A and B are shown apart, each in its own frame.
Chain A
Amino acid sequence: MSASMDNLSSDGRTLWGEAWRRLRRNRLAMICLWIVGFYTVLALYGEGVYRWHQWRDITPSYQRANLDKQYLEPSPLRQPFAAERVDSQTGETVVLSGWSRLRSGMSNLLTHPMGTDGLGRDVFQRLVQGTRIAYQVGIITSLIAIPIGVLLGCLAGYFGGRTDDFIVWLYSTFAAIPGLLFILAIAMVVGQGLLGVYLGIGLTMWVGLCRLIRGEVIKHKDRPYVTAAHALGVGHTRIIFRHILPNVFHVVIVTFTLRFPAAIGTEVFLSFLGIGVQGEPSWGIMISNARLRLWHGVWWEMAFVTAAIFFIVLAFNLLGDALRDALDPRLREGGESS
């Protein structure tokens, strides 16, 4: 009898493992994953800088006005390797050469690589802090939205009937409120600032996920493996969370990847309007500040911030699409009878 085991596929692979293998084959997805990873490192670095300043109880440089350094261009445009340099203390012109020229050039390159803004603050540092805020918003809103969406979606899909009616009514009501107005209303209640952003985005974002999960659960609840679980005497809670949920969890992952940049976009927009982040360098606030001097040729703040937003949104969206392809069971090799 054990001889019949020979035709087992050669090595043990989970379905998640296979999905990862498929994702690896998609070059664009891997590039996007690297970009997302890069932003994540940037956000963690920003968090470190923020925490360090908080711990030392000093105002970080990206918050401090330094009017001597207003509107410095990005360092490569400031002729960092110039042979002459004005000594800041004596006011004399110093001629540099050779090794010291290279050294001062390198240090010039590293100071304000993306220039400074109207208050002389380093654009790069502020961009990093913006990344930190964006990640915070993306993660915390997901932490609010995913549990609500998954739980309600599972309950609605699994139990059907009255439960389903109520939950569908609930999310239809939420979906019918114009998103921005809802967020504004929440900002009115809890006050401006990050809390309002978290709640506003989090409490609207669960709707889409809930609807998707409900649909998937409805699809799965009459599958033979669920019937088998019923016949074995497995309880409802266990069937929902141990049997159905793992089989529909790919929806959560894909939705998370697609909603994350959407949440970031909303945060930027709210901060741009002035009802979002307060007193911290969010991307939205940076854009709002940058537009004032844009027509005077101060392009760098606007350019770098929009590029940062562009790449993170693009990377997350492409990654989300690739994940959907990789995780979709219908494309699974060997085919499932369904």
Chain B
Amino acid sequence: MSDLRIINIEKQYPQTQQKSEPAFSLQPVRLTIKQGEFFSLLGPSGCGKTTLLKLVAGLLPADNGEIWVGDDNLTAVAPEDRRFAMVFQQSLLFPHMTVEDNVAFGLKMQKISKKQRLADAHGMLEHVGLGGYGSRFPDELSGGQQQRVALARALVANPRVLLMDEPFSALDPSLREEMRELLSRIQKEFRVTVLFVTHDREEAFYLSDRIGVMSEGTLLQVGKAKKLYEQPVSAKVALFLGLKNIIKGTVADGRFSSSDQNFEFLVEDTIQTGPCLLILRPEALQPVTKAAALHPDSIQVSGVIQQMRFNHGFYSVKVKVGSNKLDCSIASQQAEEMVPGQKIDLLVKLKDIWLIVE
């Protein structure tokens, strides 16, 4: 198997001129990406995900660690000899070359005959929906079309790993969705291993088999989208994934108590005693109805609605419970009867509760 293995790769940048700001460093990263897997590195700007991508590509020298693909150690191999491909934030097509020459560039470098490489380029342009555009120049294409050409250029060379550095971030939302679908379809078709960098949660969740969440130069958690969202290992991961309902408390004698005593419930024995964070997903908090009120494996809290915002078919409702403000996602039908200032009872099932030991 030609898995991509990143073994304790690390990078320390030199100190910047402003001594007050510490120099950025990428902490040792250990990661295995399976052949044909779509893996995303998700994190805020400046967290080191592009640095990690460039280290994998060989465009930046690593201070320590190794990069392997299958049985080949690529750590000391020049980027031009790694047989990787990359799609950047901008299309970065060569303006003096036609679209088909741009697509065939990698094949030309591999010394494939002109006839063969142009035939391959035509085929790949068909795949990305740009058949018949081969003789045009990049400046005659729209931004989305240019990015499709960049994708075709990357795929046609049959790379061992396809690296993608926020490739859709410069596109408008509808085009971004279209490109996501295209990429997802093509990745499945070609079974190419993809290492994708993004700060867009939705994009990572839509495309990825697995996701690695990064922050401040550290890979915090790796897992499938559902697992990351429902069971984040730290408050940082939870916050980055949009989980704002983080309640401080303590676990003692098999029981969790929030600091303001509003949340109290029994916990499993496996959870360590000590300070803890309670994570409540917005959609897990639901208003109490007659049917749900009697559910035994749930907890119930009371609060006051502070704010309501309509959001893609549901309402984002902010409810003040004790000293905490909770975000709840409530279906439009239920929310239509609510008004800010109204008292509300919320219910959350124990199976939807997630505790993080601090």
Same complex for A and B? Answer: no
Q: Which residues of B contact A (CB under 8 A)?
A: none
Binding site for B on A (CB under 8 A): none
